[in-house]
Structure formats: structure tokens, C-alpha cells
Amino acid sequence: MIEKATVDAIVAHARRDHPDEACGVVAGAEGSDRATRFIPMLNAAMSPTFYEFDSGDLLRLYKELDERDEEPVVIYHSHTATEAYPSRTDINLAQEPGAHYVLVSTRDGADSPEYDGPVEFRSYRIVDGEVTEEEVRVVGSYAETEGEH
């Protein structure tokens, strides 16, 4: 479950950085499974086929999350020429078993703001090399779903 504004922000970031891959996290309170704070990151690899957070940025990010009792609820990145499915590299390097790995694809013209088709936006758990896709439910706000499980 993810808020519409967050989905829009992730897609906008992916379009902005196309043809390079875009990456970032959406943080939330520890244990809440609510992705509430959108944090776009720099792709230090600046590549159309690879992404990596800069090591200094990574340290600052995790310190900040720690201080705020937050965790990376969502880790997102874009694929710019292939489907929004984890690549072999994505699977090998995934090291946050608790995170939702979100992939968007900006292939086939989806990078353009004028593109009016649906943008591929999919979510996975990646644990010990096992990929499990999960349904993405987009809501207006988490507040309106209170009481649901």
C-alpha cells in the first residue's frame, strides 16, 4: 500500500533521470510498513544499466533514519530499457530483506511527461535471492485506510 503522491514522485524522478537509472528510498517509522518520507538519491553510477547510492550519501541517510527511528520501507529504482522486474544484479545485491523493492520502467517512451499510458510500477520482496512480487495498492492517503489490515 502506497500513497498516490509518493508514486507520482517516484515516477517523476525516474523520468527526470532517464536515460540513466534513478534510485531512492521512501522511509517510514520502524515497523509501521508505511512509506511516508520520499528521499530521492543520487545514482553515483550515473548509468542506464546500473545504480548505486554514493557511499557518503548512504552513511548520512542511515544515520538520519536511525535518529528518526525510521527505516527504508521502500527502495526504488528505474529500468530505462527493460521491464520493471528485478534483474539478476538486483537480486544478487538486494540486502534489505525488510524493504519493498519498487521498480518502475521508463522504456518505450514512458520517460516522457506526455506519455499517457500506464507506467510500469511494481513491487517485490527480495530475500536470500528469492523474488516475490506483491500487489501494489495505491491510496490517496494512509489516513483514509485507518482501521484496515
Partner 1 sequence: MAIELRVPTILRTYTGGAKAVNGDGTNLAEFIDNIDGTHPGLKERIVEGEPEELRRFVNVYVNDEDVRFTGGLKTEVKDGDVVVVLPAVAGG
Question: What residues make contact with partner 1 under the rule CB under 8 A?
Answer: 23, 25, 41, 45, 49-53, 55-56, 58-59, 62, 71-72, 75, 77, 86-90, 93-98
Q: What are phi and psi of 91, to 5 degrees?
A: -70, -45
Question: Residue 63 Cβ, how far from partner 1 at the closest point, in Å?
Answer: 8
Burial class (CB in 10 A: 0-12, 13-18, 19+), 16: middle
Question: Residue 113 Cβ, how far from partner 1 at the closest point, in Å?
Answer: 25
Is there a contact between 20 and 111 (Cβ–Cβ < 8 Å)? no
Question: Residue 114 Cβ, how far from partner 1 at the closest point, in Å?
Answer: 28
Of 65 and 110, the one with the shorter C-beta distance to partner 1 is 65
Of 64 and 144, the one with the shorter C-beta distance to partner 1 is 64
Spell out the residues 6+ positions from residue 24 whose beta carbon is closer than 8 angstroms to its own. Answer: 10, 13, 38, 39, 40, 41, 75, 76, 77
Question: Residue 67 Cβ, how far from partner 1 at the closest point, in Å?
Answer: 13
Burial class (CB in 10 A: 0-12, 13-18, 19+), 27: buried
Of 90 and 139, the one with the shorter C-beta distance to partner 1 is 90
Of 95 and 132, the one with the shorter C-beta distance to partner 1 is 95
Provide the 3-class DSSP secondary structure of residue 19.
coil
